[in-house]
């Protein structure tokens, strides 16, 4: 144990906190400050983590310090890249695309029949709350050990949020707008493409964003149920068994960055395509 | 709730029960469920047929079509079990099995449920606490909020085995590691919802409280807290569902501990498809019950507070 290190870290933490408090009180309108404050908080968190794990000699098995994780990350890029390819580029992207597109198509079909809409929507809402991830062992049995079974899990997980959100979005237009389209003698498809789909875009993007995080988690967890000897979920579960926790954290860091980047990309596309929507025009998130 | 909607749709007009069901959601939902069941049975025949065919060929049996269909619905380890097989398995493993034996699904469900509820309770408490801090302190709003959002980019479900194994290495086992995962998952929707909810009173209402010279505590107790309750319940509904998922996934890495997740895992190792489906269906039922319990609590509380329930 190294108490002086711990004390130093605590002092750093208090100082950073005081600085944040001061900055927010004095310059909260300043853009740079608004960016700096959460950044400082994050740095503080890392310093606290490093200092406490080293100072209190926390066993590596429980929580390795960030510096050790970074060293491991730069050391084993080839393993991490292979896992990333297997899990993200194959399972996640394939499953995400199929799940979102099929959910979207089904909701357009359902939308034509009010009967189906009333019947399917409560079921879709119900299924969205279920632990769908549990179908992973069944999918492994049906589609084999390689990535298609993981993609199938991702499809099942992403389908229902997309269905529910798109159906909700398609009913977001008011009757008066629909009447206006009718006075223009617009047909069903014209109304769909020119009025209702644009109005549903915020809902659809909401589903796309929810699904971007769901897809990654689904693919990783599905790999716990059997996989070839590559993949992020496989690596995490086997390295935990070998107590190589620093490599596990490196894998988690990759997953977190990939997940955030995926989410960020969808959010950027949303900003670019639904720039007219009040929630984006207002400058809010 | 659906029947209430159906009932109000029929007010004023004298219509029989059937028409009323038809106009609400109940009728369509029942028909869609029936369609899914029929499709399921058909798929069970389709997917189990090749294996059954091979069995029959090997035994040199000639069976009629109806017999063959029946055979595909009663295999021991089918590729896709028929619904009645799953229901039968659940019945056998809950009602007909001693509740303390490790073969009882009720026993495993209880393990999962207790971890879920503990994690959910902690998660909700943590979420509400963080939200209260965030709305009363601007520095923590600007510095905490981005990191609360970032915390959810760590795929906790993916590192659930590490959390369980890591805590197990220092002697913390049993309920607590799973509850921790559930907590991590469920605090997020609560924080986001409660920050929104506690900020939902309008400026004019807060000004009114100030003219009454209300203390911050009184503003919180009499204005902000009641205003935030609808948001809290909406968040709790999301939170309890993901708490259950967290508990199930947390169980995957501790096969000795029991729980529905373990049933999934052992079922997949032994090819016991009926066992997998039974555990899955039970987990789904648990989720449905928990979510609707939150809904009941919401209606009770809003009625007590004089809101339109």
Nearest residue to B235 (alpha-carbon basis) of B271, B199, B197, B286: B197
Domain total in chain A:
2
Q: Please report whether residue A64 resides in a domain.
A: no
Is the distance from CB of A91 to CB of A158 less than 8 angstroms? Answer: no
pLDDT 10s digits, B174-206: 788 888 888 888 888 888 888 888 888 888 888
Question: Per the CB < 8 Å rule, is A236 touching B162?
Answer: yes
Residues A182 and A277 in one domain: yes
* Residue ranges per structural domain of chain B: 2-80, 105-304
Judge if A86 and A26 occupy the same domain.
Answer: no
Which residues, including other chains, have CB under 8 Å from residue B47's CB and lie 6 or more apart?
A: B78, B79, B80
Residues A208 and A268 in one domain: yes
> What CATH number was assigned to the domain covering residues B105-304?
1.10.3720.10
Nearest to B79 among A62, A140, A142 (CB): A142
Q: What is the pTM of this model?
A: 0.78
Helices assigned H by DSSP within B199-224: 203-211, 216-219
Residue A245 neighbours by CB under 8 Å, 6+ apart:
A60, A61, A62, A63, A64, A239, B162, B166
Q: Is B208 on the interface with A (CB under 8 A)?
A: no
Shortest CA distance to B81 belongs to which of B238, B299, B276, B217?
B276
Do A127 and A31 belong to one domain? no
Chain A residues with CB under 8 Å of B25 CB are 118-119, 121-122
Q: Residue A144: which domain range?
A: 73-281
Tell me if ipTM is over 0.90: no
Give the angle subtended at the CA of A266 by the CAs of A265 and A269, to the nearest 5°. 90
Q: What's residue B308's pLDDT?
A: 55
B243: CB partners within 8 A, 6+ apart: B116, B117, B119, B120, B123, B182, B183, B185, B186
Q: Do B241 and A129 touch (CB under 8 A)?
A: yes
B138 at interface of A, judged by CB pairs closer than 8 A: yes
Closest CA of chain A from B281, distance in Å: 9
pLDDT at A285: 40
Mean pLDDT across chain B: 80
Q: Would you call B158 and A232 a contact, using CB atoms and an 8 Å cutoff?
A: yes
* Judgement on whether residues A41 and A105 belong to the same structural domain of the protein: no
Q: Do A123 and B32 touch (CB under 8 A)?
A: yes
Which residues from A are below 8 Å from B249, CB to CB?
Answer: 133, 221
In a domain, A67, yes or no: no
Q: Is residue A265 part of a domain?
A: yes
N-terminal to C-terminal alpha carbon distance within chain B: 11
Least-confidence region, from A59-63, A191-195, A250-254, B43-47: A59-63
pLDDT digits 0-9 by tens, A168-200: 888 888 888 888 999 999 888 888 888 888 888
């Amino acid at each position: 144990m190294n108490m002086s290190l711990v004390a130093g870290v605590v002092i750093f933490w208090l100082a950073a906190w005081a600085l944040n408090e001061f900055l927010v009180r004095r310059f909260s309108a300043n853009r740079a400050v608004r960016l700096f404050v959460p950044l400082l908080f994050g740095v503080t968190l890392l310093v606290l983590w490093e200092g406490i794990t080293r100072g209190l000699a926390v066993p590596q098995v429980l929580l390795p310090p960030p510096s050790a994780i970074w060293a491991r990350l730069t050391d084993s890029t080839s393993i991490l890249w292979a896992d990333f390819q297997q899990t993200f580029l194959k399972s996640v992207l394939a499953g995400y695309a199929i799940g979102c597109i099929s959910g979207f198509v089904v909701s357009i079909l359902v939308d034509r029949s009010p009967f189906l809409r009333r019947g399917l929507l409560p079921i879709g809402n119900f299924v969205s709350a279920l632990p769908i991830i549990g179908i992973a062992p069944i999918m492994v049995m049906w589609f084999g050990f390689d990535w298609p079974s993981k993609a199938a899990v991702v499809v099942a997980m992403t389908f229902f949020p997309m269905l529910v959100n798109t159906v909700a979005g398609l009913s977001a237009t008011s009757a008066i707008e629909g009447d206006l389209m009718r006075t223009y003698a617009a047909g069903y498809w014209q109304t769909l493409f020119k009025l209702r789909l644009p109005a549903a875009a915020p809902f659809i993007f909401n589903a796309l964003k929810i699904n971007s995080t769901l897809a990654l988690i689904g693919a990783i967890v599905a790999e716990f149920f059997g996989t070839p000897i590559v993949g992020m979920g496989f690596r995490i579960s086997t390295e935990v068994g070998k107590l190589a926790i620093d490599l596990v954290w490196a894998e988690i860091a990759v997953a977190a960055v990939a997940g955030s980047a995926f989410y960020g990309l969808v959010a950027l596309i949303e900003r670019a395509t639904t720039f007219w929507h009040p929630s984006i025009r207002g400058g809010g998130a | 709730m659906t029947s209430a909607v159906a009932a109000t749709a029929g007010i004023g007009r004298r219509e029989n029960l059937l028409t009323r069901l038809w106009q609400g959601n109940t009728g369509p939902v029942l028909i869609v469920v029936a369609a899914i069941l029929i499709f399921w049975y058909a798929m069970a025949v389709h997917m189990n047929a090749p294996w059954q065919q091979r069995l029959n060929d090997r035994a040199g049996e000639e069976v009629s079509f109806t017999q063959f269909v029946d055979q595909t619905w009663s295999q021991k380890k089918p590729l896709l079990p028929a619904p009645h097989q799953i229901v039968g398995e659940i019945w056998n493993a809950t009602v007909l099995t001693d509740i303390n034996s490790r073969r009882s699904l009720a026993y495993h469900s209880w393990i999962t449920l207790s971890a879920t509820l503990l994690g959910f309770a902690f998660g909700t408490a943590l979420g509400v606490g963080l939200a209260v801090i965030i709305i009363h302190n601007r520095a923590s709003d600007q510095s905490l909020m981005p990191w609360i959002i970032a915390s959810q980019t760590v795929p906790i479900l993916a590192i659930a085995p590490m959390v369980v194994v890591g805590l197990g290495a220092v002697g913390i086992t049993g309920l607590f590691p799973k509850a921790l995962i559930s907590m991590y998952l469920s605090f997020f929707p609560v924080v986001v919802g409660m920050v929104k909810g506690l900020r939902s009173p309008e400026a004019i209402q807060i000004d009114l409280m100030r003219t009454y010279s209300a203390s911050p505590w009184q503003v919180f107790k009499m204005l902000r807290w009641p205003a935030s309750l609808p948001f809290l319940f909406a968040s709790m509904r999301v939170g309890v569902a993901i708490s259950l998922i967290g508990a199930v996934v947390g169980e995957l890495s501790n096969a000795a501990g029991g729980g529905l997740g373990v049933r999934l895992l052992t079922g997949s190792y032994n090819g016991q498809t009926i066992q997998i489906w039974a555990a899955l269906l039970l987990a789904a039922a648990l989720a449905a019950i928990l979510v609707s319990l939150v809904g009941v609590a919401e209606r009770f509380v809003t009625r007590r507070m004089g809101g339109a329930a």
